[in-house]
Amino acid sequence: MATPDKVSAVKELADQFRDSAAVVITEYRGLSVPQLAELRTAIRASATFKVAKNTLAARAARDAGVEGLDDLFVGPTAIAFVTGDPVEAAKGLKEFSKANPDLVLKGGVLDGVVLSAEEINKVADLESREVLLAKTAGVLKASLLGAAYLFQAPLSQGVRTFDALRAKQEDAA
C-alpha cells in the first residue's frame, strides 16, 4: 500500500519530468555531500539535481509519459532535470564527471528521445546556442557581402571603363 509521502514524491518527480526540456540519469555512488553540493551549484543555471529512489523515479517517469528509462534506474540514482539549455547542463555534468569519476552518466531523455551516456556526451560536446547562432549569423553575413559585391561589380567595372575611355580621349586630344 502506498504511503502519502511516496505518492507525493512520485507526483513531484512526475511534474519535474513533464516540465523538463531534458533529463539526465546519473549514478552518484562514492560522491560526498559537499561534492553533490558543488555539482548542484555548477549546473544551477540550467538544471536541478535530485537524488531519487529507483522505484519512485521509474513510476514517476511512466506517469509523466517518459518510456525507456527503466533500465537506468539501478544503483544509487540522481536525476538532473534540465529546465534551461540542455547543452549547458550536459557540459556541466560532463565536466564534473571528469573531475569526479564517481559521477557516472547513465543516460537520459531529450525532447522525448531516450539517449545513452555516449549520446549525452555528444550533446555536451556541442557548442552553446549563442555560439551556434553567432556562427549562423556570420555565414548569413558572408552570403550578403558576396551578393553585395556581385551587384556592385558591374557598376565599378562600368566606371573603370568610362574612366579608361576618358583617359584615352584626353591623351588623343
Give tens-digit pLDDT for 35-75: 888 888 888 888 888 888 988 998 988 888 888 888 888 88
Q: Confidence class of residue 154 from pLDDT cuts 50, 70 and 90?
A: confident
Select from 99, 126, 6 the least CA-distant residue to 57: 6
Q: What is the pLDDT of residue 81?
A: 92
Asked if residues 100 and 107 have their Cβ atoms less than 8 Å apart, the reply is: no
Answer whether 31's CB lies under 8 Å from 100's CB: yes
Cα 81-87-89 angle, rounded to 5 deg: 40
Give the tens place of pLDDT for each residue, 78-136.
999 998 888 888 888 888 888 888 888 898 888 888 888 888 888 887 777 777 788 78
Q: How far apart are CA 61 and CA 96, in angstroms?
A: 25
Higher pLDDT, 144 or 86: 86
Tell me, what amino acid is at 85? D
**What is the pLDDT, as a whole number, of residue 1?**
45
3-state DSSP call for residue 143? helix
Helices 86-99 and 33-43, interaxial angle, to 10°? Answer: 150
Three-class SS of residue 163?
helix
CB contact at 8 A, 17 and 66? yes
What are 25's three cell numbers?
540519469
Q: pLDDT at position 75, please?
A: 86
Residues ≥6 apart with Cβ < 8 Å to 146: none
Length of the chain measured in residues: 173
What pTM did the predictor assign?
Answer: 0.70
Q: Read off the pLDDT of each residue in 5-28 and give the average, rounded to a whole number.
A: 88
- Burial of 12 (C-beta count, 10 Å sphere; 0-12/13-18/19+): middle
